[in-house]
Structure 1
Amino acid sequence: MLPLSPSTVLSSSLDTKDAESAKTIGSPESLSPDEVARDCDSHLPFEIPGAMVLSNPSISVIRQAADDIYRQINSDISYSNQFIIVSNLSQPLQELLGRDRDRNPLEVSYRLTLDTRYQQALIRIIPSKAHERVTQSFLNELILKLFEMGIRPRDYTMNAASRYHGKSCDKEADQSLTPSGNPPDDDDWPSLVLETGLSESEAQLRADAYWWFSNSDYKVNMVILFHIQRSPERRVILKLYNLRSANPRVTRGLQAEVGRTLLSDLALSQIVQTVSPTVLRPHLVAKEIIVTFGNVENAPLELEFESLMRRPPAPNTSEGNIIFTAEDLALCCRYAFPIP
C-alpha cells in the first residue's frame, strides 16, 4: 500500500488533541507504474481530492469525522466529500467497523473497503436515506420484473452490504445480486453490483467498478453506478458497465479494456495499454442514462438475462432480458429529487 501524504489540517469540530490525525489530501504524487499497479490492486487510493485522512484514530475520532461529513453533505450542496481514508487502523477497530451494521459504530450509514494487510480503510459516507432508497428502489423493481418472468427469490440472493474478499482487501457494495445454483461459498461473487454516490465521486465509483470486475476474476458481470448530482441541477446519472459475454474468456485483453474504460488516471491508463491485446475477447459495454425531474434521457436500460442469472433464458418461458423503461427509471430515482 502506498503511503498517504496529507498536507493540510482540516478545519472541523474534532478535538484539538486529535487534530493531527485529521487532514485533507494535497497535491498528487509522482508514481512509478509498479507503484500504481500495487495501489490499483489494493484499491485504497493514495489520493481522493478533499477526502479526510485519519492516522491511528480512536473510534470516537472516526465517529466525529463521519458525523462532520454527514452534516456538511446534508446542509451544503457545494460540499461533496464522502470519504474518510484511515491509516494505521488497529485490529480492534478493523473488527468493530466491519461488524453487524445493526450496531452501527459510526451512527451514520457507510460502506467499508478494508485492507487488513496494510491496516488501512476507505470509508464512504452515505449522504442520506434518499440516496440509499435510489438503489433499493431499483432493486425492488428488478425483483418485481424477475418475479413476472417466473424467477422466485429462491433463485437468487440479495446481498446488501455484504463484504467480499478481494485479492488484497475487502469491500462492500451498496447492493448486489447473486443467482443461486452455485455451492454456498463466502466468496460466491454477485453477478450484479450497484453503487451510489455523489457525482463528484465519479472517479472513485469507477475505481470501485474496476475493483469488482478485476477482484472477482470477472465473475461479476454487471456494475451499475448511480451518480447523484445536486448542483447546478438535480439529476441522477446511471452508468451500466456490462461484460458482453455472460461467461467471458478472461484474457489480458479483456483486463486491459476494462481498465481503459473505468480508470481515468494517466498512469493506470498507460499500464493497461501496454498489455498485449487478444484478438478474440469479450467487450465491456457502457451505457449512460440521465434522469432529471420530469425527464429521462437515453432510456431504456436493458440488463442481459444471461449475465444476471448466469444461465440462458429457459425456452418456452417469459424469461428474457430485463427492461427498465423511462417511467421505471424515473420512479426509481424519485427519492433523489426534493418534493416540489
Structure 2
Amino acid sequence: MASRAGAAGLTNEEATMGSREPTSTRPKLAETPSSSHSLQRIDSPSTRLQTTAVSACKLLTTSPAGMPFNQKAPTRQCTDRRRDAATDSSSVLAHSTTTTTTGSTVPSELQSSNLGNSSHCVDLDDFCVPLGARVLSAPPLRQLKAALEQLKDQLSSPNPPSSQYLLLQDPGENLFSKIKDDEELFPGVRLTISSLRQEVLFKAMPGHQHNSIVGVFIEAITLQLSAMGLAHVNRAYAARPSPRTQGKSVAKEPDWWLSPTDVFDGKGGGGDSLPCLALEVGVSESYSQLRNDAQWWYNNSDHLTKTVVIICTTRKPTWRVDVEVWSEGPSSNPHQTQNRPGTPFRRSQRVTYRDGQVHGAPLVLNFESIFRRPRNQHEGDIIIDAPFLEVMCLRVVPS
C-alpha cells in the first residue's frame, strides 16, 4: 500500500531513541541513526487517533500517573531508569500539530520505516518494544482490530512490511481491562502487556505460515515424548498454545509452551505455571526482538525456563527458515566467561533451511532442562531430525 502524508500509524522508531549502549542485560543491539519528526494527529469521523512523533534525542516513557511524556534517554552511568522517568519531566518538548481528516476507520497507512536487518528496543520495566513497531494511540476496539487484520494481510502480501509489531498506547481503562481479561479477544495475535505502562505490544503473523510452523513443531515434540512413554493424555506434561503468562512486571504470550505436570501445578519448583520449554516464532526482521523474548522467559522464571526455541522466516532475497535453541550453558567466548562468571543463557544451536536443504540438523532439546529431573532408561533428549525439519519448512516456503 502506497505511503500517504498524515498517516496515523507512526513507527516506534520515530517516537523513541535506542540508546547507544542499552543498560538492559539482554543481548546488545545495533545502533540506529537519529532523525526527527513533527507531531501529527489524524481525526476520523468514527474516532480520533493521537499519534506521537518525537525528536530522536528523546525517549518516550511513562509518568507515575500513566501519562506519556518525553524523557531524555538515560546516560551510560544511569542504572535506575524508573526513577529517572518518574522524576525528571523537565525535558518535555513543545510540539506543533497537524490535523487531517479521513473517512476510513483504519489508519490509511501503517507503514514502518525501513530498519534494514537491525532491530532495536526501548527496555523499561521489563517491557521491550522494537523501534520498528507501528504505534496506535487511544483507538476504539473496532479500529484496533481492523488495524491488526490489516497488518496480518500486509504480512502475507508480496511486499510485506518490515515489522510485525503494533504498539498500543493510552488505550483507556475500559479497553485495557478488556484486553487483560479476555485472552480470546485477538485470535492469531500474540500479546505482551505492561500494566505499569498501560501499553500492549501485539505480534501478528501470517495465519497459514504461523499455524504450519507451530503445528509441525508440536507434532515433532509430542511424537518424541510419546515414544518415551510420556503422553499428554496421561498428564505427563501440560502443553498450551499461546497461554498468557505473568512475569515479574509484564504478562506475555508465547506461540506455544510445555511444562511437566508437576511443575505446571506449582509442585516442581517452577510456580505460577511458567513453562520449561517456550516457542517464539517471527519473521527475520524481528530476530532481535525474539532474542529478547528468549531472555525474558529465562529471567522471569528465575532461570527455570531453560529452553527456548526461536523460529525465524526470511522471504528475501530467497526463502529461508532458521531454527535456534536458546539454553543455559557455558559461553563459547572465554573472555565473556572470565568477565561474567556464571552460566549464561545463550544460543546453543542453529538449524537452517535454504535452497531446499537443511543445514545443522538434527535439532536437539535437552531432556533434563525441560523435565527438570534425570532421565530414565526409556527417556532421552528430544531429537528432531532433518526430514521432519524439512517438512516443517516446506509448509512455509512456497513450491
When normalised by structure 2's length, the TM-score is: 0.68
Match of 1:42 in 2: 125
Structure-to-structure mapping, 1:180-329, within 5 angstroms: 180-182=261-263, 184-185=265-266, 187-244=272-329, 277-278=340-341, 281=343, 284-292=346-354, 294-314=356-376, 317-329=377-389
- Aligned counterparts of 1:224 and 1:161: Cα–Cα separation in 2: 14
Question: Alignment partner for residue 230 of structure 2, among 151, 154, 162?
Answer: 151
The C-alpha deviation readout for 1:110-131, integer Å capped at 9, x for no partner, is: 0000011211111111222321
Judging changes above 3 Å, is the alpha-carbon distance between structure 1 residues 282 and 337 closer, same or farther for their aligned structure 2 residues? Answer: closer
Q: 1:69, 1:36 → 2: CA distance?
A: 35
Alignment: residue pair count:
305
Deviations, residues 8-57 of structure 1 (Å, cap 9, x unaligned): 78999x947756434689847544344686563633335522x2111222
Q: Is the CA contact 1:157–1:178 (under 8 Å) kept in the aligned structure 2? A: yes
Q: Is the 8 A contact 2:363 2:385 kept in 1?
A: yes
- Going from structure 1 to structure 2, the CA distance change for 1:139 and 1:78 (only over 3 Å counts) comes to same
Which residue of structure 2 aligns with residue 21 of structure 1?
Answer: 50
Q: Is 1:135 the equivalent of 2:214?
A: yes
The one-letter amino acid paired with 1:332 is M
Q: Which runs of 5+ in 1 are unaligned?
A: 245-253, 261-272
Report how far residue 146 of structure 1 moved: 0.5
Q: Distance in 2 between matches of 1:208 and 1:283?
A: 12
C-alpha separation between the residues in 2 aligned to 1:116 and 1:232?
A: 39
Judge conservation of contact 2:39–2:54 (CA < 8 Å) in 1: no
Work out the CA distance in 2 between the residues paired with 1:4 and 1:90: 23
Instruction: Tell me the alpha carbon deviations over residues 247-301 of structure 1, each in whole angstroms, 9 at most, x when there is no partner.
Output: xxxxxxx9xx7xx9xxxxxxxxxxxx8x9733x5466352111113521011111
The Cα shift of 1:158 comes to 0.5
1:295-315: per-residue Cα shift (whole Å, max 9, x none)? 10111111111011111111x
- Among the aligned pairs, what percent are the same residue? 27
Structure 1 partner of 2:86:
none
Match runs of 1:11-90 below 5 Å: 15=44, 18=47, 20-22=49-51, 27=56, 29=58, 30-33=73-76, 34=78, 40=123, 42-45=125-128, 47-49=130-132, 51-90=133-172
Question: 2:261, 2:237 → 1: CA distance?
Answer: 5
Does the 8 Å contact 1:9/1:19 carry over to 2? no
Take 1:225 and 1:277, find their aligned partners in 2: how far apart are those partners?
24
Structure 1 residues 302 and 164: alpha-carbon distance in aligned structure 2, compared to 1, 3 A threshold = same
State how far apart, in whole Å, the 2-side matches of 1:47 and 1:294 are: 31
Q: Is the CA contact 2:14–2:53 (under 8 Å) kept in the aligned structure 1? A: no
Are the equivalent residues in 1 in contact too, given 2:264–2:272 (CA < 8 A)? Answer: no
Q: 1:235·1:292 contact (CA, 8 Å) conserved in 2?
A: yes
* Larger RCO, structure (CA 8 Å, separation 6 or more): 1
Aligned CA distance change for structure 1 residues 114 and 157 (closer, same or farther; 3 Å) = same
Structure 2 CA distance for partners of 1:35 and 1:89, relative to 1, 3 Å: farther
Q: Distance in 2 between matches of 1:77 and 1:42?
A: 34
> Secondary structure in 2 aligned to 1:135?
helix
| Structure of larger gyration radius | 2
Quick one: distance in 1 between partners of 2:308 and 2:298?
8
- Per the TM alignment, residue 183 of structure 1 is displaced from its structure 2 partner at its CA by 6.7
Structure-2 separation of matches of 1:210 and 1:287? 15
C-alpha change, 1:199 and 1:46, in structure 2 (3 Å) is: closer
Paired residue type of 1:116: S
Work out whether residues 136 and 168 of structure 2, in 8 Å CA contact, stay in contact via their aligned partners in 1. yes
Instruction: Please tell me whether the aligned partners of residues 128 and 292 of structure 2 are also in contact (alpha carbons under 8 angstroms).
Output: no
Change beyond 3 A, Cα 1:82–1:16: farther
TM superposition shift of 1:100: 4.7
- Decide whether the 8 Å contact of 2:48 with 2:139 is kept in 1: no
Moved more, 327-336 or 40-49: 40-49
Query: What is the rounded CA distance, in whole Å, between the counterparts of 2:13 and 2:320 in structure 1?
Result: 36
Task: Answer whether contact 1:4 1:47 (CA < 8 A) is retained.
Answer: no
Structure-1 separation of matches of 2:180 and 2:283: 23
Secondary structure in 1 aligned to 2:224? Answer: helix
- Structure 1 segments, 4+ long, off by >3 Å, are 6-12, 14-20, 22-31, 33-41, 98-102, 280-285
Over the aligned positions, Cα root-mean-square deviation in angstroms equals 3.3
